[in-house]
Each structure stands twice: as C-alpha cells, then as structure tokens.
C-alpha cells in the first residue's frame, strides 16, 4: 500500500511540476528586444552581402553567426523553466551583441562599411560601368562620323551595341532606385541599433535576476 501511495504522490508531483512549467513558459515573440534583434540581423545580412568574396568564410561569416545568435539565444532561453536559465541565455545573447559591435567596427576600419553608406561598393562599380559606357558611346559616335554609305551594315551593328549600352544603363539606374527605396545602411545607424539592443538586453537581464 505504501508503495502504491508513493507512486501516486510522485505522479501528482510530476503533474504539478508540469503545470508550473506551463505557467512559466514565455512568448519570446512579444519581447521588443527580440523583435529589434531580428530586424537588425536582416540589416546586417544586407551589409555582409556586399563584402568581398574572400570574406565569405571570414568576417562575413562571423558577423552573420553572431547577429543571428542574439535573437536565437533569447528564443531558446525563453523556453527554459527557471529565471536563472533564462538569464543565462540572455547573457549569451548580450555577449553576441558585443561581438557584433566589435566586428562592425573592424568592417568599417578596413573599408567594408562606409560612414554614410554601407553599400559603397555597388555605387563604385556602377560609376565604373557608367564611365566605360560613356567611353564606348564616344567611340561609336566618332566612328559614325567617319562612316560612308558603304558602312551602313556596320552602323546597324553599332546601333545594336548602343541599345545594349542603354539597356545596361537602365539596369544600373533601376538598381540605384531600388537602393534608394530600401534606404542606405550607414555605419552610424548600425552602431546605434546594436548599442540600443545591448542596453535593452542589459536591462532585461537585470529585471529577470531581480524577480
């Protein structure tokens, strides 16, 4: 009989513990700091997409891993039953945020992120293409002046090339308009955003540990 009672008592305790865990369960999606961290990760991915190819396994990869770790650790920690465990995961998220800030500063120092615009590389490439296109057009115009009636066939070919150049220019303009619509990603904005996330996390950790 005693063994039977102990078994029943253990089952009750297990159910009670389960109910307590269910009551403690947190919805990480409601935390503003988690929402900000997810949005910030998307911005960092846009910046890393423009980094040189040889950084894909270097600084680019480190930045992506660290920035994703911020919101991921908050989400994982929210599922832990105790506040101490949750605070531990928030500590890890804060460490990742500090890591991201450090790597952003390094990216700026080596010229991957500009003070005013994080996509300077695309603009530089577009300017080079525009200069090349203008040079080609001037060459075509000079040749047109020298051509005679017998050069009509070559003129048609030149017109085709001219249309190709115009198409390229329109493509460049479309990409610029897209960038303008999206908004330039400045280093100052990235730095301000990550420091805001760090402050929110620090306050959140302090609040959780005082409960």
Domain span holding position 125: 120-183
CB-based contacts of 132, cutoff 8 Å, min separation 6? none
Task: Give the torsion sign (CA, 169, 174, 176, 177).
Answer: positive
Q: Length of the chain in residues, anyone?
A: 211
Q: Is residue 10 part of a domain?
A: no
Tell me, yes or no, whether 204 lies in a domain: yes
Same domain, yes or no: 35 and 106: yes
Q: Are residues 49 and 75 in the same domain?
A: yes
Whether residue 52 sits in one domain with residue 148:
no
Residue 145 lies in a domain: yes
Does one domain contain both 105 and 125? Answer: no
Residues 109 and 202 reside in one and the same domain: yes
Residues 112 and 125 in one domain: no
Q: Is residue 13 part of a domain?
A: no
> 159 and 107 share a domain?
no
Does residue 15 lie within any of the structural domains? no
Closest CA to 184 of 47, 68, 36: 47
Looking at the structure of the chain, the number of domains it has is 2
Q: For residues 106 and 34, state if they share a domain.
A: yes
Cα angle: 109, vertex 115, 116; to 5 degrees: 155
In a domain, 110, yes or no: yes
Give the CATH number for residue 48: 1.20.1440.60
Q: Please check whether residues 59 and 75 belong to one and the same domain.
A: yes
101 and 142 within one domain: no
For residue 205, which phi and psi values (nearest 5 degrees)?
-60, -45
Q: Which pTM was predicted?
A: 0.61
Q: Of 53, 58, 47, 52, which is closest to residue 179 (Cα–Cα)?
A: 47
Q: At what angle do helices 83-109 and 32-48 cross, to 10 degrees?
A: 30
Whether residue 59 is found in the same domain as residue 32: yes
How does pLDDT run along the chain (211 residues), one tens digit per residue? 555 566 666 666 655 554 444 445 799 999 999 999 999 999 999 999 989 988 888 999 999 999 999 999 999 999 999 999 999 999 999 999 999 999 999 999 999 887 764 444 445 545 555 555 565 566 555 556 666 555 666 655 666 666 666 665 555 455 444 444 455 678 999 999 999 999 999 999 999 998 7
| Residues 165 and 128 occupy one common structural domain | yes
At residue 115, what are phi and psi to the nearest 5 degrees? -60, -40
């Amino acid at each position: 009989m005693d063994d039977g009672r102990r078994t029943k008592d253990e089952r009750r305790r297990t159910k009670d513990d389960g109910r307590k865990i269910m009551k403690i369960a947190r919805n990480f999606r409601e935390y503003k700091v988690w929402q900000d961290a997810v949005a910030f990760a998307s911005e960092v991915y846009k910046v890393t997409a423009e980094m040189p190819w040889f950084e894909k396994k270097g600084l680019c990869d480190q930045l992506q891993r660290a920035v994703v770790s911020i919101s991921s650790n908050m989400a994982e920690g929210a599922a832990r039953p105790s506040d101490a465990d949750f605070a531990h995961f928030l500590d890890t998220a804060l460490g990742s945020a500090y890591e991201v800030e450090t790597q952003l500063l390094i990216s700026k120092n080596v010229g991957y992120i500009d003070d005013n615009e994080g996509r300077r590389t695309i603009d530089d490439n577009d300017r080079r293409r525009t200069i090349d296109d203008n040079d080609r057009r001037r060459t075509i115009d000079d040749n047109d002046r020298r051509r005679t009636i017998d050069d009509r066939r070559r003129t048609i070919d030149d017109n085709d090339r001219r249309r190709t150049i115009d198409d390229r220019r329109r493509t460049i303009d479309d990409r610029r308009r897209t960038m303008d619509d999206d908004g330039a990603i400045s280093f100052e904005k990235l730095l301000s955003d990550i420091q805001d996330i760090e402050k929110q996390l620090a306050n959140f950790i302090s609040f959780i540990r005082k409960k």
